[in-house]
């Protein structure tokens, strides 16, 4: 491996034009080296509540702050544009406004990993008094949340800003972290600090002054004093939306099938881009931080990179992926193309992935699994319920087809029990669509054993339902003939927006016995119920959800 390039351009090597502004009530002077307001807030002032989820796409809303009281996305706002103005982060919001929002978000389970929440709080805090549900939903159109399923966020905003309800900040109870860890697959915090973005994300906890490393596009890493300098050194270009159609990469195997299904490439769409830091001779910080990333960070390259570079350069190093890197390098759930006979036997073709055949067979042992090569991004059986969820959906669809449910009537029902390796929990789901095929209601009953925290449990179930709806109806990324992802922007993946996400009613049944994870069972059950409600169309996404 060639020597790692270290960019010589430190802050002192560039012209420094002072920009004076007020940040969270404090007058500051920041050198303008051509960067964004986000660069200044994080790198110069150390304000880590302002998150970098997609810069400079300006599409996720995680870096939202207030400029003279109005919400603005910091990653696409040049620092010089806010000279002489007042900037407010979530930490500088009026105490009563912030406390009301934080309490409401905790009470409604409206924050899981907490990466997107500070930006959402800032935007909601900017709404005029007397805002209604429509205003809250409209405000959220500028944001992406992948964890919660949106409705708890809407409910929290309405509770704090419309109803004026004041609640405590520990509504998740002492069992909240345990339930979150069970459902998310990683240790997690629950409470006010999480809502405020203090979940211990690697990019936030790296030592001040650590060098920053980014992929250089050739398999190596470029290192510089700041993230802006490192990205400039590799010529980072903002990602794009291709406009190309999303198509399944595999063809259904030939046969006389009672039911077929082919799925497409799907982006896990976790909000916190991969990051890890290390000091010389030390271990590397986990990129998972306060959330499991739906299995997408199990083998993230940033861990080995930060450790290797710190030892080589004998300095602390923070290795980071840009949003475009996450799409190109991050693993996807393996697409399938399956044909089933009426007796439940059949063949599933799946993109070759270690462990995927065993996952499919754990739920549908009657299916022959054919692993095939396909040009595309990396895949992983560690992505949420990969393999067994598809098998459970196929079997539920086959039962519906046998009962004459091929014609869409706007309602679908399905029941799924996860295999023991996935927690063994079970869920029953009912999905209702309107006449245009849009989801209007989701009802889920879960058998989770001891709930531990009803607030946290309901939040994870609703989040899984949201992801399942999108998986079937609207989510996918275009991939070129060489297998490279073409849709590199957050808004191009078809993730359902707040306004397009229906209410999710959660019933907690079977409260006795040891706690069992049910979010993945919910994911599979809601996906199956949605597919059935649509009349079992043969390809996903069905394009009958939110416009992509």
**Architecture of the structural domain at 93-203:** Orthogonal Bundle (1.10)
Report in angstroms the alpha-carbon separations of 406 from 248, 389, 428, 533: 21, 20, 20, 9
Question: What pLDDT, on a 0 to 100 scale, did the predictor assign at position 548?
Answer: 38
Which helix (H) or strand (E) segment is 95 a member of?
helix 95-107
Q: Report whether pLDDT(311) > 70.
A: yes
In this predicted model, what pLDDT tens digit does every residue of 145-169 receive, in sequence order?
999 999 999 999 999 988 776 665 4
In CATH terms, 336-533 corresponds, of 3.40.640.10, 1.10.10.10, 3.30.365.10, 3.40.190.10, to 3.30.365.10
Q: Comparing 114-118, 248-252, 407-411, which segment has the lowest mean pLDDT?
A: 407-411
Question: What pLDDT, on a 0 to 100 scale, did the predictor assign at position 8?
Answer: 42
In this predicted model, what pLDDT tens digit does every residue of 407-440 receive, in sequence order?
677 899 999 999 998 889 999 999 999 999 999 9
Give residues with Cβ within 8 angstroms of 141, minimum separation 6: 497, 498, 499
Strands in 4-105 per DSSP E: 17-23, 26-32, 64-67, 70-73, 86-88
Mean pLDDT over the full length of the chain: 92
% residues pLDDT > 70 (the chain): 94
- Distance from C-alpha of 82 to C-alpha of 22, rounded to nearest angstrom: 9
Q: Report whether pLDDT(534) > 50.
A: yes
Structural tokens at position 508? 């907690």
Q: Report whether pLDDT(13) > 70.
A: no
Q: Report whether pLDDT(140) > 90.
A: yes
- Distance from C-alpha of 325 to C-alpha of 331, rounded to nearest angstrom: 11
Which helix (H) or strand (E) segment is 230 a member of?
helix 227-233
Q: Comparing 97-111, 236-250, 329-343, which segment has the lowest mean pLDDT?
A: 236-250
Q: Report whether pLDDT(523) > 90.
A: yes
Q: Comparing 108-112, 158-162, 274-278, 321-325, which segment has the lowest mean pLDDT?
A: 158-162
Question: What pLDDT, on a 0 to 100 scale, did the predictor assign at position 270?
Answer: 96
Helix (H, G, I), strand (E, B) or coil at 225: coil
Question: What pLDDT, on a 0 to 100 scale, did the predictor assign at position 165?
Answer: 66
Provide the pairing of β-strand 336-340 with 346-351: antiparallel
Question: What pLDDT, on a 0 to 100 scale, did the predictor assign at position 324?
Answer: 96
- Give the pLDDT band (50/70/90) at residue 174: confident
Question: What pLDDT, on a 0 to 100 scale, did the predictor assign at position 145?
Answer: 95
- Give the pLDDT band (50/70/90) at residue 46: very high
184 touches 535 (CB < 8 A): no
Q: Report whether pLDDT(12) > 70.
A: no
Query: What's the average model confidence in pLDDT over 341-367?
Result: 97
Q: Report whether pLDDT(540) > 50.
A: yes
Q: What is the CA radius of gyration of the chain?
A: 23
**Architecture of the structural domain at 11-91:** Roll (3.10)
- Distance from C-alpha of 542 to C-alpha of 545, rounded to nearest angstrom: 7
Give residues with Cβ within 8 angstroms of 72, minimum separation 6: 37, 64, 65, 66
Question: What pLDDT, on a 0 to 100 scale, did the predictor assign at position 11?
Answer: 46
- Residue spans of the domains in the chain: they are 11-91, 93-203, 336-533
Strands in 279-342 per DSSP E: 317-320, 336-340
């Amino acid at each position: 491996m060639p020597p790692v390039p270290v960019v010589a351009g430190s802050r002192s090597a560039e012209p420094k034009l002072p920009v004076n502004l007020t940040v969270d009530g404090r007058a500051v002077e920041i050198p303008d080296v051509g960067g964004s307001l986000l660069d200044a807030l994080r790198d110069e002032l150390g304000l880590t509540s302002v998150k970098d989820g997609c810069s400079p796409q300006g599409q996720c809303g995680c870096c939202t702050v207030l400029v003279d009281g109005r919400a603005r996305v910091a990653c696409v706002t040049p620092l010089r544009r806010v000279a002489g103005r007042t900037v407010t982060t979530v930490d500088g919001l009026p105490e009563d406004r912030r406390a009301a929002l934080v309490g409401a978000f905790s009470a409604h389970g409206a924050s899981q990993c907490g990466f997107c929440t500070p930006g959402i709080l800032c935007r909601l805090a900017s709404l005029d008094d007397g805002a209604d549900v429509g205003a809250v939903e409209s405000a959220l159109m500028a944001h992406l949340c992948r964890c919660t399923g949106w409705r708890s966020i809407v409910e929290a905003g309405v509770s704090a800003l419309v109803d004026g309800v004041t609640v405590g900040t520990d509504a998740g109870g002492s069992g909240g972290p345990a339930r979150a860890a069970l459902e998310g697959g990683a240790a997690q915090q629950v409470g006010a600090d999480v809502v405020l973005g203090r979940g211990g994300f690697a990019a936030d906890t790296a030592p001040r002054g650590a060098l920053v490393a980014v992929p250089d596009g050739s398999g190596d890493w470029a290192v510089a004093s700041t993230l802006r300098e490192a990205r400039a050194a590799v010529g980072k270009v903002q990602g794009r939306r291709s406009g190309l159609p999303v198509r399944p990469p595999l063809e259904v195997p030939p046969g006389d099938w009672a039911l077929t299904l082919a799925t497409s490439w799907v982006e896990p769409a976790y909000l916190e881009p991969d990051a890890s830091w290390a000091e010389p001779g030390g271990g590397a910080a986990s990129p998972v931080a306060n959330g499991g990333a739906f299995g997408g960070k199990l083998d993230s390259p940033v861990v080995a990179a930060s450790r290797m570079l710190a030892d080589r350069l004998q300095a602390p190093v923070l290795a980071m992926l840009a949003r475009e890197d996450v799409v190109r390098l991050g693993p996807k759930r393996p697409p399938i193309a399956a044909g089933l006979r009426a007796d439940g036997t059949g063949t599933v073709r799946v993109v070759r992935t270690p462990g995927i055949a065993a996952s499919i067979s754990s739920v549908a042992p009657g299916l022959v699994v054919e692993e095939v090569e396909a040009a595309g991004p990396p895949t992983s059986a560690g992505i949420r319920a990969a393999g067994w969820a598809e098998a459970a959906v196929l079997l539920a669809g086959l039962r519906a087809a046998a009962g004459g449910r091929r014609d869409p009537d706007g309602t679908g029902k399905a029941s799924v029990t996860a295999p023991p390796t996935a927690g063994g929990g079970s869920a029953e789901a009912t999905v209702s669509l309107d006449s245009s095929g849009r989801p209007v209601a989701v009802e889920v009953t879960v058998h989770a054993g001891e709930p531990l925290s009803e607030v946290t449990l309901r939040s994870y179930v609703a989040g899984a339902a949201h992801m399942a709806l999108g998986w079937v109806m609207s989510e996918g990324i275009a991939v070129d003939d060489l297998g490279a992802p073409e849709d590199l922007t957050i808004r191009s993946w078809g993730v359902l927006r707040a306004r397009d996400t229906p209410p999710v009613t959660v019933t907690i049944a079977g409260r006795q016995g040891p706690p069992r994870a049910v979010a993945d069972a919910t994911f599979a059950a809601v996906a199956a119920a949605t597919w059935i409600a649509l009349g079992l169309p043969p390809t996903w996404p069905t394009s009958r959800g939110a416009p992509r």
